[in-house]
Structure 1
Amino acid sequence: MKRICILACIAIAGLSSCKKFLDTKPTDFYTTENYYKTETQLQQALNGVYGDLMRPELYAQVMGFNFVSTTDEVMSNRTADGDARGLRYNYDASLVYVGNIWRYSYVGINNINTLLDNIDKPAMDEGRRNIIKGQALFLRGFLYFILTSNYGDVPLVLHTPAINEVNIPPVKQADVYAQVEKDMKEAEVLLKDYTVAQTSFNDVVTLTAVQAMLARVYLYWAGYPQNNTARYQDVITYTDKVINSGLHALNPDYRQIFINLARDQYDVRENIWELGSLGAAAGVVNKSGNDIGNFVGIQSTLTALDSTSYNSAAWVWVTRKLFDSYEVDPGSTATPNKSSLDIRRDWNCANYIYSGTSPRTKAARPNPWQMCAGKFRREYVSQAIRNTNGAGGTYNINWPVIRYSDVLLMRAEAENYVNGPANAYTYINQVRKRGYGLLNGNVVKSITMTNQGGGYTKVPAVTITGGGGSGATGTAIVTGGKVTGIYLNSPGALTAGSYYTSSPVVVIGTFWTPGISYTEGMQITNGNVLYTVTMAGTSTNTPPTHTSGASSAEITGAAFTYAGPAASATATITVGNEADLTPGLNKETFQLAIRDERMRELCFEAVRKADLIRWGNFVTDMQNFAVWATSNGAGVTSTGNPNGLQGLRNVSARHVLLPKPTYELNLNRLLVQNEGW
């Protein structure tokens, strides 16, 4: 009995000890009570939100792919698995990808609310506190912008909810926009001295990122379904803040923007805000890779047998409407597609794929309906990251959330709405000049055949030299043994000192081979045309210098005569205003021009569907485009994209918004499903 009493006392003592332990704040895990005590902890909490934006459920895949991949610029080429991902407007409220945008936006908002609830805890420099708070407020506004533009009326949660706060009513979209505006304007004040000039990187939010995104918010607010057209003046105000800051400018080479994103090289002047992945700067959590350039990319297989290879599924193809929207050189004789005056076309609409594995083979894709979306090119990602020894590899292409060209196009659209097109030309023409390569000088515009030659059974090389510039390249088109045209691959290198001041010389074929000693009477086949060497001096084995592109082309050390006709061509260069939009458009026709320019410039950057919706005719536009696509070959299995066309035909009024997720409707009894779902 005594022993039992002792055991009982021990037990009681143990209970007393447990109670004392439970009263003590935990030290081996974090809660809101024992965290957020230092600046470092505040920064770490903010970093986590940035990192979560590049989750597969958000910008690492879904936001740039799942529900924006069938419009008039790009269409899914998938069947059953496309339906499973929501690519062809054949989804419902239970689809996991529908729910993930909602789920992870609110996860981010909850984490930000907790951070803001504890922002004043640490003793720290107030300037640093303001930077963290400003970024947090902006990100909360940005996540609510994602939610309302995708789902319409949504619950507005501005604090850390209690465990019993489950049923939260949605608020009207206009009120959500008002809160987004409030958060972002407060962020603008807090970040007034925090610019890319201080950071030198752009995968965290700076002052002009806030201002540029506010302009986009106002643009959406001004359009359907709110139609609050007074907001166009706010678009002008906020785009002017970005433009007049002097911190941003267009990259003269459109292609280089996306090469930089693949290489994780910051272009803080063009890319106002991008989401970082691997190799991120301060303020961004490293991630394990993403699907950018995969589903929306140029088809290829990653193989250890080819160090240049990469992995891309290419689950979407461009549309002929997008391809045809880029201006072509009317004098081009290249076939089957004329050369484009706009360098954006051949970058965005890739006319080839890679097939095979040992080694890969580059195969032509001349039909626009089956061209891959070429903007995000995984071949530029570091080979070490691509991991050629692995089955899938990893990729770190950063996502351009908002670029300076978008700011200029928003400025043009708002100016046209408020004041008409007179002053709006200034902004759209900057974007067009860059698209044509004319931002800082002139480039090769056209190559015209003067003699098609004969006897060619292989494609001869084309060299373009002189004229004060460099970097222009072309490919000969051989038909029936003749060079019938030159496809201009690149109009020139778009860097200072590389622009053309006069027409360069075009030479078809290679007139010399390094290491060969040329002698009198030597017979040389150039493009399968026989040439006879006539020496103008002693023999030479150094690369001769072209002085003429004529049929009896003279080169240093030797002169060539030939048996049979040789192909020849001449080049012309542009003049600085050739890219400008047609002058004298009225308000309505200028607005249509803006719509086309936004497609040409911003295709595959997940803004086209939202643009079509805010312009108020999404369903009608898609129905009309489906009719046009049908009559222009999209439904032909061998050369079109019948799966994408079926996706177009599925569009109805309910697709203006995503459905509220089924799981959320089951949890929150105050939610109301969107119309049509």
Structure 2
Amino acid sequence: MKKQLFLYTCWVLLAGSMMSSCKKLIEIGPPKDQLASNSVFLDSTTAEAAMVGLYANVANPNPGSDMGTLITLFNCMSADEAYAYSMNYYDDFTNNSLTPLYYYIDGLWSTIYKNVYIANSVISGMPGSPLSEAYKQRTVGEAKFIRAFCYFYLVNEYGAVPLVLSTDVNTTTMQPRDNVDAVYDQIEKDLTDAQKVLPATLDYYGGKRIRATTWAAEALLARVYLYRGKWQLAENMATSVINNPGLFSLNAAVDQVFLANNQEGILQFVNGITSSWIANNFVPSALSTTPKFVLKDGLHEDFEPGDKRKTSWVGYKNYGGINYPYPAKYKYMAGVGPVEYNQVLRLSEQYLIRAEARAQQSNYTQAAADINSIRSRAGLPATNAADKAALMTAIEHERRIEFFCEWGYRWLDLKRWPGVGNPAVSRADEVLSRLKGNQWQPTDALYPIPQSAINSNVNLTQNKGYF
């Protein structure tokens, strides 16, 4: 207990001074005397505190401003999942009318790049440490995983972004945007490097799923390969994770999927001390008349009769005789109820990644079997899909229901898939133009680069459709 308290105190001291010094990564250089200093890595206690701090900053530095909260809330409104009931300051997401001056866009950019900076600090500072080579390799692998994770969301939210790999002020303050393929190449490299050195068991982390393992690297690699159309590699990575029943299995009890350390979790982030970070945003209090965020009719109606996920993951608040549905995957607030951790990577995604990769390779029977693994867990009959078009429709349905209002899955899926009726446009263009009419433009698929970042870096350019 004393050691844990000391580690936490170290992180508070390190993070507190660092966060006050570091505004936007692209604007200013690293603080001269904080985490970037090699002195942090002279002994295992402070080095471990730095690593705990890295996860803490990504997961929950402040209620409502961590990556998971921002991405989940913003993306579910940008897509066709949910809307803010009475908070009109979120309307620009729902209406796809964002501008480079919008506060929340600046916040998302800054939050993710801040995490990149901390990861870069660990990657650059750890090699000079006198600690064992095995420890240094593992911690650098964790930092590379986090950096890859951050860049995955940066490149999907903003498109081409500055690929910052150091803490050198001379290379960060005036760095232009790198093309999407270059960013993805670095993501693959970081994850491949991490896969080789991260532990293959949970023993290093006390049996908990709260830090990166080789399986987390493979799971994220499977997703990256899928997004890039590398079907066989995506299938291989997903299969490697799925074929590890000693660590991972689909949880038959759907209402337990988001509990801490359940067997479906590949990587989980620890929430705040007293509550689930996302429950406080999605679940209305007893005194609230309506939910803060309401599921859109199309999503709510897309649940099939008998789907256990609707029973377990959708809540209702009655107001004026109307039942307003809201996301209820995370339920427990203020220390009441079982402990929930934020599911960052979970096994069900690997089945649906493999199903899609197999469908793209004309392996229809096995693709259907993967879909049925998810449907069976949800209490639904087997799919009738037997060709590529039908299987892709089935996969879209399962991904929409399985991952609604969770880490931006639906928003990113709509943008990466070609249209069903017209492959020359994106699935986002098809779906969101029907739903939102002239509020949707194809250029809305990328968020604007914050104007504050452009003002500070003359080499940054704006995305199309924004001024």
| TM-score computed with the length of structure 1 as normaliser | 0.58
Contact 1:58 1:100 in 2 (8 A): no
Query: Which residue matches 1:257?
Result: 257
Contact 2:35 2:121 in 1 (8 A): no
Query: Which residue matches 1:472?
Result: none
Cα distance in structure 1, aligned partners of 2:427 and 2:328: 28
Query: Which residue matches 1:548?
Result: none
Select 2:200's aligned residue among 194, 197, 201.
194
Contact 2:83 2:294 in 1 (8 A): yes
Select 2:405's aligned residue among 604, 607, 612.
604
Query: Which residue matches 1:81?
Result: 89
Query: Which residue matches 1:44?
Result: 49
Query: Which residue matches 1:406?
Result: 349
Amino acid at match of 2:309: R
TM-superposed CA distance for 1:669, in Å, is: 0.7
Select 2:315's aligned residue among 330, 350, 362.
350
Select 1:652's aligned residue among 421, 441, 448.
441
Secondary structure (helix, strand or coil) at the match of 1:65 reads helix
TM-superposed CA distance for 1:31, in Å, is: 6.8
Cα distance in structure 1, aligned partners of 2:172 and 2:400: 43
- Larger mean CA deviation between 87-96 and 207-216 belongs to 87-96
TM-superposed CA distance for 1:220, in Å, is: 2.0
Cα distance in structure 2, aligned partners of 1:671 and 1:137: 25
Q: Quick one: structure 1 residues 165 and 238, their matched pair in 2 at CA, closer, same or farther if it must change by over 3 Å? A: closer
Q: Quick one: structure 1 residues 588 and 289, their matched pair in 2 at CA, closer, same or farther if it must change by over 3 Å? A: same
Contact 1:215 1:239 in 2 (8 A): yes
Contact 2:276 2:340 in 1 (8 A): yes
Amino acid at match of 1:300: S
Contact 1:613 1:656 in 2 (8 A): yes
Q: Does 1:373 align with 2:368?
A: no
Secondary structure (helix, strand or coil) at the match of 2:463 reads coil
Select 1:314's aligned residue among 287, 291, 295.
291
Secondary structure (helix, strand or coil) at the match of 1:66 reads helix
Contact 1:138 1:210 in 2 (8 A): yes
Select 1:124's aligned residue among 124, 128, 131.
131
Q: How does 1:310-459 map to 2 (within 5 A)?
A: 314-328=291-305, 341-353=306-318, 365-366=322-323, 370-378=324-332, 382-383=335-336, 397-436=340-379
TM-superposed CA distance for 1:33, in Å, is: 5.0
TM-superposed CA distance for 1:79, in Å, is: 5.7
Contact 2:36 2:167 in 1 (8 A): no
Cα distance in structure 2, aligned partners of 1:102 and 1:588: 36
TM-superposed CA distance for 1:60, in Å, is: 5.2
Select 1:133's aligned residue among 116, 137, 140.
140
Cα distance in structure 2, aligned partners of 1:289 and 1:383: 8
Q: Quick one: structure 1 residues 161 and 312, their matched pair in 2 at CA, closer, same or farther if it must change by over 3 Å? A: farther
Cα distance in structure 2, aligned partners of 1:164 and 1:427: 45
Cα distance in structure 2, aligned partners of 1:270 and 1:79: 34
Q: Quick one: structure 1 residues 158 and 48, their matched pair in 2 at CA, closer, same or farther if it must change by over 3 Å? A: same
TM-superposed CA distance for 1:44, in Å, is: 1.8
User: Deviation per CA, 1:568-601, whole angstroms, max 9, x where unpaired?
Assistant: xxxxxxxxxx621115x21101100110011111
Amino acid at match of 1:657: L
Cα distance in structure 2, aligned partners of 1:117 and 1:662: 30
Contact 2:300 2:325 in 1 (8 A): no
Query: Which residue matches 1:34?
Result: 39
Cα distance in structure 2, aligned partners of 1:61 and 1:661: 19
Query: Which residue matches 1:292?
Result: 278
Q: Quick one: structure 1 residues 291 and 165, their matched pair in 2 at CA, closer, same or farther if it must change by over 3 Å? A: closer
TM-superposed CA distance for 1:69, in Å, is: 1.9
Amino acid at match of 1:321: G
Query: Which residue matches 1:270?
Result: 264
Q: How does 1:193-212 map to 2 (within 5 A)?
A: 193-196=199-202, 199=205, 200-212=207-219
Secondary structure (helix, strand or coil) at the match of 1:174 reads helix
Secondary structure (helix, strand or coil) at the match of 2:267 reads strand
Cα distance in structure 2, aligned partners of 1:72 and 1:588: 22
Query: Which residue matches 1:623?
Result: 433
Query: Which residue matches 2:237?
Result: 238
TM-superposed CA distance for 1:383, in Å, is: 3.2
| TM-score computed with the length of structure 2 as normaliser | 0.83
Contact 1:93 1:660 in 2 (8 A): yes
Secondary structure (helix, strand or coil) at the match of 1:278 reads coil
Cα distance in structure 2, aligned partners of 1:428 and 1:275: 27
Q: Quick one: structure 1 residues 591 and 300, their matched pair in 2 at CA, closer, same or farther if it must change by over 3 Å? A: same
TM-superposed CA distance for 1:649, in Å, is: 5.3
Cα distance in structure 2, aligned partners of 1:312 and 1:425: 43
The total of aligned residue pairs comes to 420
Amino acid at match of 1:598: R
TM-superposed CA distance for 1:602, in Å, is: 1.2
TM-superposed CA distance for 1:213, in Å, is: 0.8
Q: How does 1:581-600 map to 2 (within 5 A)?
A: 581-582=383-384, 585-600=386-401
Cα distance in structure 1, aligned partners of 2:35 and 2:382: 59
Contact 1:365 1:371 in 2 (8 A): no
User: Deviation per CA, 1:308-349, whole angstroms, max 9, x where unpaired?
Assistant: xxx797222123332332332xxxxxxxxxxxx211122233
- Larger mean CA deviation between 39-48 and 239-248 belongs to 39-48
Q: Quick one: structure 1 residues 653 and 40, their matched pair in 2 at CA, closer, same or farther if it must change by over 3 Å? A: same
TM-superposed CA distance for 1:87, in Å, is: 4.1
Unaligned runs of at least 5 residues, structure 2: 1-32, 418-425
Contact 1:74 1:317 in 2 (8 A): yes
Contact 1:317 1:373 in 2 (8 A): yes
Contact 2:35 2:50 in 1 (8 A): no
Moved over 4 A (4+): 28-31, 288-291, 363-366
Cα distance in structure 1, aligned partners of 2:327 and 2:35: 45
Cα distance in structure 2, aligned partners of 1:321 and 1:406: 22
Higher normalized contact order (CA 8 Å, seq sep 6+, divided by chain length): 2
Contact 1:76 1:88 in 2 (8 A): no
Unaligned runs of at least 5 residues, structure 1: 1-27, 223-230, 280-287, 303-310, 329-340, 356-362, 386-395, 437-577, 627-647
Secondary structure (helix, strand or coil) at the match of 2:390 reads helix
Contact 2:429 2:442 in 1 (8 A): yes
Cα distance in structure 2, aligned partners of 1:59 and 1:289: 17
User: Deviation per CA, 1:243-287, whole angstroms, max 9, x where unpaired?
Assistant: 1222211011111113x2xxxx321x20111111235xxxxxxxx
Cα distance in structure 2, aligned partners of 1:411 and 1:238: 9
TM-superposed CA distance for 1:662, in Å, is: 0.5
